[in-house]
Structure 1
């Protein structure tokens, strides 16, 4: 949707919207490349930098682990029960568990984990960066020879990626355990057939697609919202960096999901 700017004709609004769109994606690509270089650079891991990184990783991961684990367990329990009961009613009980694992572990739970991290960690981190920039913190760092990207952006992006991958892995384990308990209860009788079915679902190709999907989704939710807080909206533009960052993040997540579905089922 085109932003209504007073005093501009439709072609001018279209041009400004396209320019803002191209500029925003260019900034994301540029900062993503810079962050990748900094992650691979030994100079980014000084003692103070390691302490800052560890603090951000802890603050972005530890406080949400318990709440998200409970949420994932309840979600898995409800969805597993619905799928199993529906499959039994249609005489498809042999496919129920495989369907649960494909729906929960491969698709729904990892996406829920990344969105949870975005809402609780990376979007607030983008707001913090915007406030730091507006308060003059970035200019003060540059005046003393510091780099705002290295000192402020990098720890938040790395913490967001770590939190997203950690929650995705934890939620997948919770989903597998809850699916087993929902069907077989607290006994080991169904463990051999369950492990065989799990191995059938997670073929090497599916495992590769799942790993890449989790990695790129984590990068998207960690980088895009924080990038929006590093820059001004621009001259003559409406200050909608947060909403614009959200829209771009959801667009990338949707694209990743579509590509993963194509890779898994076509």
Structure 2
């Protein structure tokens, strides 16, 4: 009886904790949307911060990211082509390449890459700002942190994931053509027709929305996790670990829901 009561109590505590985290994310997102629609938010300083954040999140990592995309795309395309030819399905190789790489794998890996590089950095930075009372100092000086610290990071996260995922998908499409047809242009018409058949408006809209949600997840969750950090320096690594676990869970949920809506 005591074991059953303890189990129910533990389950209830977990549900309350999940609901509390969800409410915190929703409240922060609502505040961010209000700031986004506020004309007073948009000034030269805010634009400068957004540009810098996009540079740090997307532009600065381009050499490593392009290498990462080229290697993974080439390996996956080779595996897909070899498997398709072994089973006599070579005519479906181009469609399989687009569906596996462009629609699913590359956007997912792009979100993970940015989460590990930039999401963890954002979580650490916000947590340190809270521990060192920098956010309190901004409030004391009547400088709202939302338009200068939080909103630019949210916007840059969405822009960066969408832009880098689009670039990765374009590279994968080009590599797919080269792997299947080489430098021969005879397959160009069939290949482009296959792409247009798969990537219709509905699929493209869904892909854009998924990438935007990925970008929101890899910035929104680390910011809120950093703001929840207790004002003790040794709690910063714990905050980052918890934040990254939440980011990974959110990315998985977005991907699973996307697959379910698309194929079920």
Whether these two folds match at TM > 0.5 is: yes
Distance 1:79 1:147 in 2: 46
Between stretches 93-102 and 39-48, larger displacement belongs to 39-48
2:27 is matched with: 30
Query: Aligned-pair distance for 1:219?
Result: 1.1
Which one of the candidate residues 189, 194, 197 is aligned to 2:186?
Answer: 189
Query: Aligned-pair distance for 1:54?
Result: 1.4
Which one of the candidate residues 119, 122, 125 is aligned to 1:125?
Answer: 122
Query: Aligned-pair distance for 1:181?
Result: 0.8
1:74 is matched with: 71
Distance 2:33 2:92 in 1: 42
Query: Aligned-pair distance for 1:241?
Result: 2.7
The answer on whether the counterparts of 2:177 and 2:191 sit within 8 Å (CA) in structure 1 is yes
Distance 1:162 1:206 in 2: 19
Query: Aligned-pair distance for 1:103?
Result: 0.3
Distance 1:48 1:214 in 2: 27
The answer on whether the counterparts of 2:107 and 2:211 sit within 8 Å (CA) in structure 1 is yes
Between stretches 9-18 and 209-218, larger displacement belongs to 9-18
The answer on whether the counterparts of 1:209 and 1:263 sit within 8 Å (CA) in structure 2 is no
Give the alignment of 1:232-247 within 5 angstroms: 232-233=229-230, 240-247=238-245
1:102 is matched with: 99
For structure 2, the 5+ residue unaligned runs are 1-5
Distance 1:152 1:13 in 2: 36
2:3 is matched with: none
Give the alignment of 1:33-52 within 5 angstroms: 33-52=30-49
The answer on whether the counterparts of 1:122 and 1:156 sit within 8 Å (CA) in structure 2 is no
Distance 1:233 1:185 in 2: 57
Give the alignment of 1:157-236 within 5 angstroms: 157-233=154-230
1:3-30 per-residue CA deviation (whole Å, 9 max, x = no partner) reads: xxxxxx8777666544433322221111
Find the residue that maps to 1:146 and give its secondary structure: coil
The answer on whether the counterparts of 2:35 and 2:146 sit within 8 Å (CA) in structure 1 is no
Distance 1:34 1:13 in 2: 32
The answer on whether the counterparts of 2:158 and 2:211 sit within 8 Å (CA) in structure 1 is no
Query: Aligned-pair distance for 1:119?
Result: 0.9
2:255 is matched with: 257
Find the residue that maps to 1:156 and give its secondary structure: helix
Q: What TM-score, normalized by structure 1, do the two folds share?
A: 0.89
Find the residue that maps to 2:45 and give its secondary structure: helix
Distance 2:196 2:73 in 1: 20
For structure 1, the 5+ residue unaligned runs are 1-8
The answer on whether the counterparts of 1:127 and 1:229 sit within 8 Å (CA) in structure 2 is yes
Distance 2:241 2:17 in 1: 13
Question: Cα RMSD between the aligned structures?
Answer: 2.2
Q: What TM-score, normalized by structure 2, do the two folds share?
A: 0.89
- How many residues are treated as equivalent by the alignment? 256
